[in-house]
Structure 1
């Protein structure tokens, strides 16, 4: 229904109500005259004519009453007039009004369902919080505050959004994917762990898919998979904060670490639960050695070392930072744990020995949210460490000490500690880093940010993949589809949509409003 037509109907309803009220006033005048006649008073000729027009007015009022909208309260406000109408007419009017109201409510419900229905996302429209890679290295998966997960193809420089995973009702904080069989797992603010089909070859491109299974975890959920034991899921929740006060008040969820055994079909069994934590766990990593361990990162600057098997006892605490530890990663040989902290430093710790000696410290000029290391990383010897972060989005506009490179991901030489390169392009704090050793000539890394963008840089700083186009690429793309740059935002809803309909998703994504 067009806007003009909708407003015309609203105006017509208002006129009917006004006309009804005018006729009601005339009927009340007639009733007063009839009272005078009963009292023995004589009426003038014009007054008698008014009294004689009562039946005609009642017919007009009855007809108008049938035209009133279902949500009109005019009849309720003029019950003295409604009482004059024939009972059968009133019953018919009420029946029609009820039917109209039910139809209207049904339309509104359907519109609301359509508005809330999952849609295919050509890219995220809110901050991206996590990223992982498929076992074959051909696809990236991301999760976002918009509640969706997206699978991306790395086939071309412009990342193609192939599949949308919809099923969470809150921000999706984290995700991971197993190798064989592929199982995608996500954790959200809605307190759920969802299990999805993780093999893109088994999904239809450009579609929305639903979870295979859902696990009610409680609290905000973050999860990570063990690369050696691909069906072992570890997730953790923490006490709901001020953004979820109503649920926190009703049923507070304490900080905890839970280890689950998950089957390829998404069936999960809780193996152990650790509740004796110093606070929420910001990140977790599996640890090897003689016994399977867990490393947890906390706001008090400590790393906890836990036995990952029952009873899940605390083996050691390591004080490393003066502010919250936001992220953890392990070297490829699992002997070195590397941290990222809001105190602007990163530390490499030897976790192969009980002494857990700090082997190296790396420092930048901004709070650190994420860390990744190259495949050949050895502290103070070989390889590189990648660090990224930036001030919290809510502090950016009023911060006086913002750096020009605040949101760049820095590639640091492990041996010298010098910055070798930077991954640029984000205009918000970086929330996640992922090492991609099989991409590029010497390896690469993916970054996800508050700006809602996903980028892949080589360790030399070159941009290898991105979900957005540069201004020059936008112009070239627009010329390719014969539209002007000014018409970009209309491409998907006007004639250009027909031209793009037969093109690949790459061309279609050129016209997303984010690229304008």
Structure 2
């Protein structure tokens, strides 16, 4: 199944049930698809620039999106209506809901004399959603390397960030202080950050050609997956010990290489053994974003080629015994 956008994908996300898949792209449009058959359910129109990022709450009631038009938007998932717009001096590069759906964190870019900022907005869930506060509940400027990705941890008020320098950090949003950091988490820009369901550990991908699992509390690197291509996205497979990695050379260098050398495959690595176990081909350009269905039955990848590819795992994937004879209770 290959639903598509007019331009390259920037982020894709399943909702909590996994029946819907949201995608945003450089074509300014956000799409929502039925994940089981790839049929388009609708669009969220309104942004005037590349939509860099989106997230959907756990009830599939609200969607948030961030764009190069310097706006953060709140949408009604079911009817596609834009409920509220926050405006900033620079582009919004990453958004994420807290696990209780009460707050949204967003990163705005460092540009033209404006510092990069992290803001947390309290989402008013009463009424029709149009009555939101313009002012952030918290706002601070991370010092040093600019933040590229962020997410709420399992501790209220603590936010995980990944940075251009390769560091990962934890910030207390109430004070803006960095409470923990690992400067050497990666050697180059952190391109994606996805948390385990219980948020006790998280997975990052980086332009340094590695993906890593870190402990959320200590930021210690627990596992490293080294590839030979810059990575743009990494996702954890629920119920199976796999991580899915996607990337590829920058589009500018791709024209000079053959398809095989471009390495546009989703790579599956064994989370514990740190060994590559398989690859899935399909995209005609770098893979920019990967998401796994919350029940682990399928995964989706979004590419530079404008396609969203949804892959349903076949029987053999579920029969495989990645731990040998060991039985793992989920």
| TM-score tier after normalising by the smaller chain length | 0.7 to 0.9
Runs of 4+ in 1 over 6 A off after TM superposition: 460-463
- Cα shift at 1:222: 3.0
Gaps of 5+ in 2: 318-330
Hey, what's the Cα distance between the residues in 2 that align with 1:430 and 1:181?
Answer: 26
With over 3 angstroms needed to count, the CA separation of the structure-2 counterparts of 1:277 and 1:459, relative to structure 1, is farther
Q: Which has the higher strand share?
A: 2
Hey, what's the Cα distance between the residues in 2 that align with 1:229 and 1:175?
Answer: 17
With over 3 angstroms needed to count, the CA separation of the structure-2 counterparts of 1:350 and 1:135, relative to structure 1, is closer
Hey, what's the Cα distance between the residues in 2 that align with 1:222 and 1:301?
Answer: 16
In the alignment, what sits opposite 2:228?
Answer: 365
Hey, what's the Cα distance between the residues in 1 that align with 2:316 and 2:72?
Answer: 35
With over 3 angstroms needed to count, the CA separation of the structure-2 counterparts of 1:459 and 1:140, relative to structure 1, is same
One of 221, 225, 239 as aligned partner of 2:96:
225
Give the 3-state SS of the residue equivalent to 2:82 in structure 1. coil
Q: Counterparts of 1:268-283 in structure 2 under 5 Å?
A: 268=133, 269-283=135-149
- Cα shift at 1:311: 1.3
- Cα shift at 1:357: 2.6
Higher Rg: 1
Partner deviation per Cα, 1:35-90 (whole Å, 9 max, x = no partner): xxxxxxxxxxxxxxxxxxxxxxxxxxxxxxxxxxxxxxxxxxxxxxxxxxxxxxxx
- Cα shift at 1:415: 2.5
- Cα shift at 1:376: 3.6
Hey, what's the Cα distance between the residues in 2 that align with 1:395 and 1:261?
Answer: 42
Q: Counterparts of 1:84-483 in structure 2 under 5 Å?
A: 123-156=4-37, 159-180=38-59, 182-199=61-78, 203=79, 209-240=80-111, 248=112, 252-264=113-125, 265-266=129-130, 267-268=132-133, 269-289=135-155, 291-308=156-173, 310-318=174-182, 319-352=184-217, 354=218, 356-376=219-239, 383-398=241-256, 403-404=260-261, 406-438=263-295, 443-458=297-312
With over 3 angstroms needed to count, the CA separation of the structure-2 counterparts of 1:181 and 1:299, relative to structure 1, is closer
With over 3 angstroms needed to count, the CA separation of the structure-2 counterparts of 1:435 and 1:171, relative to structure 1, is same
Quick check: 1:362–1:417 contact (8 Å CA) kept in 2? yes
Hey, what's the Cα distance between the residues in 2 that align with 1:461 and 1:448?
Answer: 24
Hey, what's the Cα distance between the residues in 1 that align with 2:99 and 2:123?
Answer: 14
Q: TM-score, normalised by structure 2?
A: 0.86
Hey, what's the Cα distance between the residues in 2 that align with 1:325 and 1:132?
Answer: 19
Q: Which has the higher helix share?
A: 1
Hey, what's the Cα distance between the residues in 2 that align with 1:399 and 1:149?
Answer: 31
Q: TM-score, normalised by structure 1?
A: 0.56
Quick check: 1:423–1:462 contact (8 Å CA) kept in 2? no
- Cα shift at 1:434: 0.9
In the alignment, what sits opposite 1:34?
Answer: none
In the alignment, what sits opposite 1:48?
Answer: none
Quick check: 2:249–2:262 contact (8 Å CA) kept in 1? no
**Structure showing greater relative contact order (alpha-carbon pairs closer than 8 Å, 6 or more residues apart):** 2
With over 3 angstroms needed to count, the CA separation of the structure-2 counterparts of 1:349 and 1:142, relative to structure 1, is same
Partner deviation per Cα, 1:341-372 (whole Å, 9 max, x = no partner): 111111111223x4x33211111110001010
Quick check: 1:237–1:280 contact (8 Å CA) kept in 2? no
Gaps of 5+ in 1: 1-121, 204-208, 241-247, 378-382, 464-516
Quick check: 1:175–1:222 contact (8 Å CA) kept in 2? no
Aligned residues: CA RMSD: 2.3
Quick check: 1:422–1:461 contact (8 Å CA) kept in 2? no
- Cα shift at 1:231: 2.9
Quick check: 2:95–2:107 contact (8 Å CA) kept in 1? no
